[in-house]
Amino acid sequence: MRFLEKIFQDISAQTLPSACIVCERHQQDVICGDCLKSLGSNCLLNYECCFQCGIALRTSELHTQKCESCTNNPPYFDKTYCLDRYEGSLQNALHQLKYQKRLAYAHGLANAWNQLFAIQLKDIDASHLLPVPLSTEKLLTRGFNQSWEIARKIDCGLGIRKTPFLLKRHHHKTQQVGGKISARRLAIRNVFYLDPCFIESLDGQSIIIFDDVMTTGATLNEIARLLKDNGASHVINWVLLRTARAPYV
């Protein structure tokens, strides 16, 4: 009996948070009131961001509400909504989910999203919400897709179908780390494909893509290109954490 109890406790410790996902203080809620308040006051939502790619705007870009990169080289996606910066207070919680495989952190992250962001997004109309997929190989290694684990718990309109298997990803040995935007766009080309059974359902529809982290936007741009090539009319990104843009060089 003791042995079974120990197993249960070990599993619980790995899967259920008994502390706030941000400050890690022991308490009942998955994110405590203080951390939620602080996140609400400091997160990216409070800043003027490019409507197309979600990056915080420079003063010179405020009049168009669009960053220089989207003006000069427009991406395929139409809009991007980001909760916070990658460097902000949710980064550790996301790492706990992705790298320590603590699935309950997905619940905490979705909870933060729902409390701070869901009302703002509730009127967005779309037919599908798709998580950015992992390749089958990566899925087997990690055991779950972190974007889907968060996306499945976030609040969205009743007419939006959350569909985890519509969009699929080939396995590539090289990981995307750093590099110029143009090089990353080239590297990501043709990495994604669609389940043929669902392609007809995309025709003329708005599609939401959910990603845990947006860096250069190359991945989301390639997904938007694929969806629009297959009939989607609009592609909207919902992103948990957005990295800051590279400084001027």
Interface positions with Zn ion (CB under 5 A): 20, 22-23, 32, 35, 50, 52-53, 67, 70
Whole-angstrom distance, CA of residue 9 vs CA of residue 48 = 45
Q: Considering the complex, what minimum distance in angstroms separates the CB of residue 227 from Zn ion?
A: 19
Indicate the residue among 76 and 144 with the shorter CB distance to Zn ion: 76
Q: Do 193 and 135 form a contact (C-beta atoms < 8 A)?
A: no
Indicate the residue among 115 and 135 with the shorter CB distance to Zn ion: 115
Query: Residue 152: which residues within 8 A CB-CB, separation 6 or more?
Result: 110, 162, 164
Three-state secondary structure call for residue 15: helix
Q: Considering the complex, what minimum distance in angstroms separates the CB of residue 157 from Zn ion?
A: 25
Whole-angstrom distance, CA of residue 111 vs CA of residue 106 = 8
Helix 104-116 / helix 33-42 crossing angle, nearest 10 deg: 60
Q: Considering the complex, what minimum distance in angstroms separates the CB of residue 55 from Zn ion?
A: 5
Structure tokens at 170: 């080939």
Indicate the residue among 36 and 232 with the shorter CB distance to Zn ion: 36
Cα torsion at 192, 238, 228, 173 (round to 10°)? Answer: -10
Q: Considering the complex, what minimum distance in angstroms separates the CB of residue 18 from Zn ion?
A: 12
Indicate the residue among 22 and 202 with the shorter CB distance to Zn ion: 22
